[in-house]
């Protein structure tokens, strides 16, 4: 089984510049770190499974408590 993005550097034909503000960079780094649960530097399918399992259980708890915190 292959990890998503594992060989990205060797297969990407071009580079694309992205101009982000400091706040946007911080936001996306935090989101990435939340998904990259083991701190490997890339996101695996297992990382996504763990993240969405936690997210789904959190949503379930919010609605079963009868309090909507959205």
pTM of the model: 0.53
Instruction: Give the separation between CA 70 and CA 33, rounded to whole angstroms.
Output: 22
Helices H / strands E in the chain, number of each? 3, 0
- Provide the 8-state DSSP code for 42: S
- Provide the 8-state DSSP code for 29: H
Walk along the chain (70 residues) and give the pLDDT tens digit of each residue. Answer: 566 666 666 665 677 888 999 999 999 999 999 888 789 998 888 888 888 887 766 655 655 665 554 4
Matching residue, tokens 């399918």: 45
CA 8 vs CA 14, 57, 59, 64: distances in Å: 11, 32, 33, 42
């Amino acid at each position: 089984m292959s990890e998503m993005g594992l060989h990205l550097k060797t297969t990407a034909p071009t580079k694309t510049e992205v101009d982000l503000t400091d706040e946007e960079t911080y936001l996306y780094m935090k989101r990435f770190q939340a998904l990259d649960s083991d701190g490997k530097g890339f996101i695996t399918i297992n990382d996504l499974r763990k993240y969405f399992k936690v997210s789904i259980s959190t949503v379930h708890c919010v609605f079963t408590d009868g309090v909507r915190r959205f």
